[in-house]
Structure 1
Amino acid sequence: MAINRLFGFFLLVAGCNLYFSQDVTIKDDKVLLDGKQILKAEKINSAQYSFFSMKDDEEVLMYKYMDNETPSYIRDDYFILNFLTEKTKIETTDFTKIVNFMNSKKGMEKLVRWLLKERVLNQDGELNPERVAIFKEKYDENITQRTLR
């Protein structure tokens, strides 16, 4: 009997999670949230993306993958999120939020979902300065400053 209740609870939680999840896709250089365009995207190369505001076409976010000048050694790799309009740079090694096995477009879709979940981006694709500061406190590892060159 307890297993049936546990299974029912699991289905309820999974169903709510699917119901409240947002569909983020990148198609034709457009970032779509539930079918509505919120940002413009530009793939510079497989290691760099830029995101632009819909209002004034200003670059608001730049993603860049860094191999730390050691291409064959991946344990020291990290990525940079540069919130240009907020003059805030975040360097982190936590690839679990965006990793998608060499498909950079799917990884960038996961990145936008993460920023929406953390409320760094709102439903209209605008940055929330207070949430950008909190996001920096949570995830920035300050890799450049602590790496010897």
Structure 2
Amino acid sequence: MAINRLLVLFLLIINCNLYFSQEVVIKDDKVLLDGKQILKAEKISLAQYSFFSVKDDEEVLLYKYMDNETPSYVNDDFFILNFLTEKIKVESTDLGKVSNFMNSKKAMEKIIKWLLKERVINRNGELNPDRIVIFKEKYDENITARTLR
């Protein structure tokens, strides 16, 4: 009896999670949220992507993966999210937020989902300056400033 209740509860939780999840897909250089284009994407290299506003084609976000000039040593790798229109840069070593087994398109989809969840980007692809500041406070590790070169 208790197992049946746990099973029903588990299925309800999974069902709600699927219901509220947002589908983000990058296809033909378009970032689609539930089938609606919210941004344009440009793959510059395996380690760099740019995102552009649909409204005015302005570059709003630049993603860079930095290997810290040590390609064989991954413990010092980090990524940069540069919110260009707001002149705010976020550097983080939390690669679990963006990595997806070297599939850069899937990794970018994961970043967009993360930014949507944090309300940095709204459902129309517009940046929220107040939420970018909060996002920076939460995740920025200021790596470049504390790295000797």
**Shorter-normalised TM-score: what interval?**
over 0.9
SS in 1 for 2:114: helix
Alpha-carbon distance between aligned partners in 1 of 2:3 and 2:131, rounded to the nearest angstrom: 40
What is the aligned length?
149
Q: What stretches of structure 1 of length at least 5 have no aligned partner?
A: none
How far off its partner does 1:3 sit? 2.4
1:125 matched to 2:142? The reply is no
Q: Give CA deviations for 1:123-147 in whole Å, capped at 9, x if unaligned.
A: 0000001110010011000001111
Q: Give CA deviations for 1:5-36 in whole Å, capped at 9, x if unaligned.
A: 22211111111010111110000100000111
2:145 matched to which residue of 1? Answer: 145
1:104 matched to 2:104? The reply is yes
One-letter amino acid of the structure 2 residue matched with residue 111 of structure 1: I
2:46 matched to which residue of 1? Answer: 46
Root mean square deviation of aligned Cα: 0.7
TM-score (normalised: structure 1): 0.98
How far off its partner does 1:2 sit? 2.3
Deviating beyond 6 angstroms after TM superposition, the runs of 4 or more aligned structure 1 residues are none
1:55 matched to which residue of 2? Answer: 55
How far off its partner does 1:4 sit? 2.0
How far off its partner does 1:95 sit? 1.2
Q: Give CA deviations for 1:75-95 in whole Å, capped at 9, x if unaligned.
A: 000000000001100000111
TM-score (normalised: structure 2): 0.98
Alpha-carbon distance between aligned partners in 1 of 2:90 and 2:77, rounded to the nearest angstrom: 14
One-letter amino acid of the structure 2 residue matched with residue 55 of structure 1: K
Alpha-carbon distance between aligned partners in 1 of 2:80 and 2:114, rounded to the nearest angstrom: 15
One-letter amino acid of the structure 2 residue matched with residue 62 of structure 1: L
1:14 matched to which residue of 2? Answer: 14
